[in-house]
Structure 1
Amino acid sequence: MNRQPQPTRPRIRKDNMTAFAEKRPPVAAPILLLLLGVIAGCAGTPPTPDMSGEPELETPVIAEMAPQGPAELPESAWQAEFSAAERRLAAQDWIGAEQALQPLPDTLVANDLARHHYLLARAAYLRGDYNTVRALLESLPQEPVALALRQLLDNFRRHMHSLAGQYRDSARLGVTQLEYALDPILRDTLKRDIWHNLQRLPATELDSALAEATAAEWRAWLRLARLAADQPGVNALRASLETWLAKHPDHVAAEQLPGGLGFLLAERQPVRKVTLLLPLSGRLAPAARAVRDGYLAHYYSAREREDSDHEISIVDTGLFASAVAAYEHAVASGADLIIGPLSKEAVTQLGRHPQRPVPILALNRIDEPVVHGSAALVQLSLAPEDEARRIAELAFGQGARRALILRPAGERGTRLNDVLRQRWQALGGSIAASATYSSPEAYSASIKTALNLTDSEQRAREVRSMLATNIEFIARRRQDVDVVFLLAGTPAEARSVKPLLAFHYAGTLPVYATSSIYSGIPDPRNRDLNGARLVELPWLLGANPDLREALAAGETGGDSFTRLNALGADAGLLQSRCVQLQAGADALIKGATGLLLLDQDLRIIREPALATFDGSDLTRL
């Protein structure tokens, strides 16, 4: 096929367009789980990997820190006490664990002392006492200890660093563990965790780490992460990976490139036609146009790099009786991959439809299981549930353990509350109090009641009455709260609620929130959110500048729907990098909406970035 003239980037406004670019010769590549292989560009039929042994997304942190691999702990005269403490820790009972260890004497042999300190450190970590954790880990015996104990201690340190946001330290420790880890399962876990933590680092921090690194193995890891962080086109990334492999053929990451990157090196069948199913008419039309424009910005950027060789068709689902009818039209028109639909209702219709000969990258997430079809249905979305889980992890990693949840009444508030509670309690946190408000008038009273200020004021009235004098009184809030989760549905709501915490004597408590507290538009009124921490799309924190500039130049990146621009851009990214999804739970792609992972139900799980308001400005942490 002759190469088409390379176009200049147009102003992206059209609802329908067709474009072609140079094709690569189709060559079969290996295939992943269940139906993923029939996603465009991922054709082939190798064995399906077993995901049953992969870690679940909501594993309790105590379980994550438990022994991995077959290494046996050394025998001990205190085995009964150690086992009892392990059982209590598994049940998140740090008091019971400490009580189980009380019979141990002060003087112990090296292995017993190391295990004793390890279990006490885990108990201290569960209650959020980081000073005690550090003291225990710094006073470990100087003598060498059994390999299994060293493994336990390093696993604990590594997970503690990761949850605290110390991603470089966690990755570096994982590299050290690989030097002595022999069990294949543990080695795979370590490589996955190292890569995940390196991908969490911004490019500037990777550069700093590279400048300081001296160990060859560690430097090679950092160089691999740095070239992936540049987010080049597929061709450039493939060339960089081949160069890295040529320089580091014996590196542990060369055995199987992390994050599914190795699948990019296998030749694949090209996708020839992509159809976008979007509701370009009706109430969702503005949102649909934002998604379309984000996708097209990615598409034209890829064309300039000669990474894109497919035709695009854009179909208005509003012209069809159902999402299934629109899908069947796209299939009949020769689509190799379908991106969309956008609404949850439309995705549900396709999820229930077993006749799906062409793979789908849906742009929403549904709650019910998808009926198996002959092709995959992958779900990419901006689901706030991912953000609720993430703020639970980040707050726990910083030492918070007893939460106050503030949320609006209604289905969304209930849903996010349930997800947050589940993850928070799985980690080992507790809910000290919660407040649900149904109107702006109820904000203050709800917070006041949750903080037990009403009880404090009642006690003051009783004292005044008893003493028959008007004594000076300052209300005292409850003291068993160390973090606030704010699940506000809108920025205006958050700007009203956050200052009330200070008014009600809780201004020093850290506040974590989902991205819904930020409109995506700089606003001086956000100074009322000063200090609040939220998880946000990298797109709104400076990532993907070229795509954002292209959207602005084409007058298509409206401020009101900037997150949907990012969703569209990630749809294009996943289409171009879909072969990486063959890695299953190991797949990891740095997108505009966050780090993108794949779960066993073919849902893309987003890990957004942590940010804070510094005055009225949003800053990445």
Structure 2
Amino acid sequence: MTVKQSQFLHPAALALIALLLQGCGSVPPQDKSAGTSTTQSTFKNQTSETNVQLPPSQFHPQFAEADEALRQLDWMTASTVLALLDEEALTRNDRDYRDYLLARIDYVRGDQVQASTRLKALDRPEVALGIAYRSYNFQRHLLSLQRAYLDSARLGVRIMEIAPAKDLPGLKRSLWHDLQRSPESEIAQARSSAADPTWLGWLELANIANDNATTLRTALPRWQINYPGHPAASPLPGGLEYMLEPAVTPQQVALVLPLSGRLAPAGKAIRDGYLAHYFTARNKGDAPTEIKVIDSDLYGSATEAYTVAVQQGAQLVVGPLSKASVAELAKQTNRVVPTIALNRIDQPVATSATALVQLSLAPADEARQLARLAFGDGGRRALVLRPAGRWGDEMESALDEQWRALGGTTTQVISYTGKDDYSSSVKSGLGIEASEQRRRKLRDMLAINLEFTPRRRADLDTVFMLSRTPEEARAIKPLLAFHYAGALPVYASSSAYGARDDSRNQDLNGTTIVELPWLLGSNPALQQSLVGANSDYYTRLNALGADAYLLQSRLVQLQAGPDALIRGDTGLLTMNSQLQIVRELPPARFDGDRLKSL
């Protein structure tokens, strides 16, 4: 039954709007159950201040200089400073701290194995607390980069026991992030063998965190009763604290999508994914009473379609889809109901009475993650192959920003315009032309024919192949082997994969990409309900629609701001200060013609 306009601003709707008006990162409601049980002492005291200062040393100036150099990613200066230390005058603490700094030097240089070896050697009871604290935190950083997320989380539990109070919120946030990155199968296996109650509590919380909103409102209080005083209990991580509050559900939601014009196939794919998730939730008693689907193509503007949705009783709008429509709606200062837009814009959003959350499949998120993947695998010096044009510009910019922040260098960027210059672009980027030119000069100088094999440039250890389509990627990847670079690791965005098995993907063998969990097997029951609904090309948009509903059901959780963390079918979802949803995708690699999760 359609809600009439006079009923639109009923108390539940007002409460929903008020919740979204609260500043992101506001103080969550207090945990009323923690600390009431006699088992409080089960968990180590997290509130006492710990001294993690470095032990005194006569070499403090030299250590400080090396540390600062490493903060600037200048491993050569740091190495020189440490090499000049008087070995005989070093105390045991000095040697331990030097080894910690040497591990950081190994890391900056790309020798992850040696860095890990040094850090493991520092895991001894006699190591000074200040040195151990720094070593453990750096080891966690390495484990996370190497995608050993569960090991990183387990070490995080140890670190929280010795961390000063000011560091606990950040540690808690990163520990929870590691758990949410961990596969459910690994969580289950760890739960079955966990003996430490603190660690078990984290695992149990991770196990229930991705249940539907209705289940969470009963499961979370039950967890709090079972684990009173747990370091995760107050506040609960990832914005889960907000899920403890009584449910505030919009009675009508308008799904505003293009369903009859040029973008109709995309709009219908999103609609199908959204409704599939909605009906699944409704069957479990966890859904608003009515969804109204509105074809935005029938209206002259995004603002008009939004206004009609509100006039027909919508208390939440999901859409519009195109960037132009989202930009238009973002300029409006009279948005009276919250909106989950299905694209991301660069322009600032006008201040209004309600939130405009932006959910999209932004490729720039993938470019940043490719940089982290390659750096975690030991890459430091990269060749970037990218298409000419705006899309390539944006991908390169996002990649370069993250790559340089981590400490990587870009040896060369090659931009190609089409298939006619794929080979010449790869050849140029690998320095083959320069090698052939040297051969010609030598031949002309000696006036004889020479046996010659061209050599690629030696200052590369990584290739970023930012191809826009599977056809581009399948054409370019074999050229790397042809031009003597077949051994270099290659990283590509999800656009290299056509969303289905294809024998032609053999040409991408060994390529690492990031891909939607949806295409790596998440939510199989929901996917099965959509079989035959649309072509493979729009499968990713099914996932976007499914996550639009997921976000709608967890909207209250976003009050946690940057702490909010939701596992979706398009990735692990967080939110930035512009209310844009940022995705973190799991990695996968082509094995023959099949894509397999890493």
The alpha-carbon deviation at position 39 of structure 1 amounts to 5.0
Hey, what does 1:169 align to over in structure 2?
151
Q: Relative to 1, partners in 2 of residues 1:150 and 1:363: Cα closer, same or farther, differing over 3 Å?
A: same
Hey, what does 1:318 align to over in structure 2?
297
Hey, what does 1:225 align to over in structure 2?
206
Question: Quick check: 1:18–1:312 contact (8 Å CA) kept in 2?
Answer: no
Letter in 2 for 1:568: G
Letter in 2 for 1:93: D
The alpha-carbon deviation at position 142 of structure 1 amounts to 4.8
Distance in 2 (CA, whole Å) between partners of 1:143 and 1:380 is 47
Question: Quick check: 1:41–1:578 contact (8 Å CA) kept in 2?
Answer: no
Question: Quick check: 1:453–1:475 contact (8 Å CA) kept in 2?
Answer: yes
Verify: 1:516 aligned to 2:495, yes or no. Answer: yes
Alignment of 1:205-224 (within 5 A): 205-224=186-205
Question: Quick check: 1:613–1:619 contact (8 Å CA) kept in 2?
Answer: yes
Question: Quick check: 2:103–2:114 contact (8 Å CA) kept in 1?
Answer: yes
Alignment of 1:507-546 (within 5 A): 507-546=486-525
Hey, what does 1:497 align to over in structure 2?
476
Letter in 1 for 2:543: A
Distance in 1 (CA, whole Å) between partners of 2:582 and 2:227 is 31
Question: Quick check: 1:533–1:613 contact (8 Å CA) kept in 2?
Answer: yes
Question: Quick check: 2:23–2:559 contact (8 Å CA) kept in 1?
Answer: no
Distance in 1 (CA, whole Å) between partners of 2:383 and 2:157 is 38
User: Which whole-Å deviations, capped at 9, do the CAs of 1:171-200 have from their partners, x for residues lacking one?
Assistant: 0110111112231x3111111111111111
Letter in 2 for 1:379: Q
Question: Quick check: 1:278–1:342 contact (8 Å CA) kept in 2?
Answer: yes
Hey, what does 1:486 align to over in structure 2?
465
Q: Identify the match of residue 592 of structure 1 among 565, 569, 585.
A: 569
Letter in 1 for 2:153: A
**Larger CA deviation: 327-336 vs 290-299:** 327-336
Hey, what does 1:572 align to over in structure 2?
549
Verify: 1:605 aligned to 2:582, yes or no. Answer: yes
Hey, what does 1:191 align to over in structure 2?
172
Provide the secondary structure at the position in 2 that maps to 1:191.
helix
Hey, what does 2:220 align to over in structure 1?
241
Distance in 2 (CA, whole Å) between partners of 1:413 and 1:82 is 42
Hey, what does 1:49 align to over in structure 2?
26
Hey, what does 1:96 align to over in structure 2?
77
Alignment of 1:169-568 (within 5 A): 169-183=151-165, 185-228=166-209, 231-552=210-531, 555-568=532-545
Question: Quick check: 1:273–1:313 contact (8 Å CA) kept in 2?
Answer: yes
User: Which whole-Å deviations, capped at 9, do the CAs of 1:147-185 have from their partners, x for residues lacking one?
Assistant: 3322211110001110111111110110111112231x3
The alpha-carbon deviation at position 40 of structure 1 amounts to 5.9
Please, which runs of 5 or more residues in structure 1 have no aligned partner?
Answer: 1-16, 20-25, 30-36, 52-67
The alpha-carbon deviation at position 594 of structure 1 amounts to 0.3
Q: Relative to 1, partners in 2 of residues 1:140 and 1:182: Cα closer, same or farther, differing over 3 Å?
A: closer
How big is the alpha-carbon RMSD for the aligned residues of Structure 1 and Structure 2?
2.4
The alpha-carbon deviation at position 336 of structure 1 amounts to 0.8
Question: Quick check: 1:72–1:148 contact (8 Å CA) kept in 2?
Answer: yes
Provide the secondary structure at the position in 1 that maps to 2:87.
coil
Q: Relative to 1, partners in 2 of residues 1:280 and 1:364: Cα closer, same or farther, differing over 3 Å?
A: same
Letter in 2 for 1:523: D
Q: Relative to 1, partners in 2 of residues 1:455 and 1:127: Cα closer, same or farther, differing over 3 Å?
A: same
Q: Relative to 1, partners in 2 of residues 1:50 and 1:123: Cα closer, same or farther, differing over 3 Å?
A: farther
Question: Quick check: 1:526–1:613 contact (8 Å CA) kept in 2?
Answer: yes
Distance in 1 (CA, whole Å) between partners of 2:122 and 2:159 is 18
The alpha-carbon deviation at position 48 of structure 1 amounts to 6.0
Question: Quick check: 2:20–2:355 contact (8 Å CA) kept in 1?
Answer: no
Distance in 2 (CA, whole Å) between partners of 1:74 and 1:401 is 33
Hey, what does 2:134 align to over in structure 1?
152
**Larger CA deviation: 498-507 vs 327-336:** 327-336
Distance in 1 (CA, whole Å) between partners of 2:389 and 2:144 is 34
The alpha-carbon deviation at position 210 of structure 1 amounts to 2.3
Q: Identify the match of residue 67 of structure 2 among 68, 86, 89.
A: 86
Distance in 1 (CA, whole Å) between partners of 2:112 and 2:432 is 29
Give the TM-score, by structure 1 length. Answer: 0.88
Letter in 2 for 1:454: E
User: Which whole-Å deviations, capped at 9, do the CAs of 1:324-377 have from their partners, x for residues lacking one?
Assistant: 111112122221111110000000011111111111100000001111111000
Question: Quick check: 1:233–1:305 contact (8 Å CA) kept in 2?
Answer: no
Q: Relative to 1, partners in 2 of residues 1:47 and 1:225: Cα closer, same or farther, differing over 3 Å?
A: closer
Verify: 1:616 aligned to 2:593, yes or no. Answer: yes
Distance in 1 (CA, whole Å) between partners of 2:18 and 2:280 is 19
Q: Identify the match of residue 77 of structure 1 among 29, 35, 58.
A: 58
The alpha-carbon deviation at position 419 of structure 1 amounts to 0.8
Q: Relative to 1, partners in 2 of residues 1:18 and 1:240: Cα closer, same or farther, differing over 3 Å?
A: same
Letter in 2 for 1:84: E
Sequence identity (%): 49
Letter in 2 for 1:217: T
Provide the secondary structure at the position in 2 that maps to 1:606.
strand
Letter in 2 for 1:123: I
Provide the secondary structure at the position in 1 that maps to 2:282.
helix
Letter in 1 for 2:581: I
Q: Relative to 1, partners in 2 of residues 1:45 and 1:368: Cα closer, same or farther, differing over 3 Å?
A: closer
Distance in 2 (CA, whole Å) between partners of 1:304 and 1:407 is 46
Question: Quick check: 2:15–2:248 contact (8 Å CA) kept in 1?
Answer: no
Letter in 2 for 1:196: H
Give the TM-score, by structure 2 length. Answer: 0.91
Distance in 2 (CA, whole Å) between partners of 1:546 and 1:424 is 37
Question: Quick check: 1:181–1:187 contact (8 Å CA) kept in 2?
Answer: yes
Hey, what does 2:93 align to over in structure 1?
111
Letter in 2 for 1:599: N
Distance in 2 (CA, whole Å) between partners of 1:412 and 1:50 is 39
Question: Quick check: 2:12–2:249 contact (8 Å CA) kept in 1?
Answer: no
Hey, what does 1:3 align to over in structure 2?
none
Distance in 1 (CA, whole Å) between partners of 2:522 and 2:22 is 36
Distance in 2 (CA, whole Å) between partners of 1:295 and 1:111 is 58
Number of residues paired by the alignment?
A: 572
Question: Quick check: 2:123–2:132 contact (8 Å CA) kept in 1?
Answer: no
Distance in 1 (CA, whole Å) between partners of 2:566 and 2:77 is 41
The alpha-carbon deviation at position 70 of structure 1 amounts to 8.1
**Larger CA deviation: 589-598 vs 308-317:** 308-317
Provide the secondary structure at the position in 1 that maps to 2:260.
coil
Question: Quick check: 2:20–2:559 contact (8 Å CA) kept in 1?
Answer: no
Distance in 1 (CA, whole Å) between partners of 2:117 and 2:224 is 42
Distance in 2 (CA, whole Å) between partners of 1:38 and 1:114 is 56
Letter in 2 for 1:287: A
Provide the secondary structure at the position in 1 that maps to 2:596.
strand
Provide the secondary structure at the position in 2 that maps to 1:618.
strand
Provide the secondary structure at the position in 2 that maps to 1:253.
coil
